[in-house]
Structure 1
Amino acid sequence: MGPAATMSERRAADLRSRTLIFAALLGCAFLGLLGRLAYLQVFKHDEYSRLAESQHAETIRLKPPRGPIYDR
């Protein structure tokens, strides 16, 4: 029973370490996304605000097509 228990403990330790590594990588990815979001919100706000306004508020005057107007 000794070697089987040792093997089982070893597999449990491997699973814990893999889970910890996965959680750490996931945490780093989340922090990276959070950092990028903060960067865009804080430092690039004015630039993207101007860009959005220029794309949104644009007036184009079109001459409507007119046909002949008949008086009854």
Structure 2
Amino acid sequence: MSSEHVACRIVAELERLNTELVLAPLHIRMSILLRLVAPDLLWRILRRKALAEKETERRKAEEEKDKAK
């Protein structure tokens, strides 16, 4: 995101008298919305993602250990 784009968005929001501005990718904005509408669902999604990442790291460690043998 360029500084010019950010500046234009800030000015536009100030002209509209908005007090909040979220300059983030779509998936982050959707997370914010989901947190407001269905927080339990968001936490379930985040937990599942964290567990999947942990499993991926464990598998990589096992593969590296097997290669070292």
Query: TM-score range with shorter-chain normalisation?
Result: 0.3 to 0.5
TM-score (normalised: structure 2) = 0.46
The structure with more helix, counted as a fraction of residues: 2
TM-score (normalised: structure 1) = 0.44
Larger radius of gyration: 1
Point out which structure has higher relative CO (alpha carbons under 8 A, 6+ apart).
Answer: 2
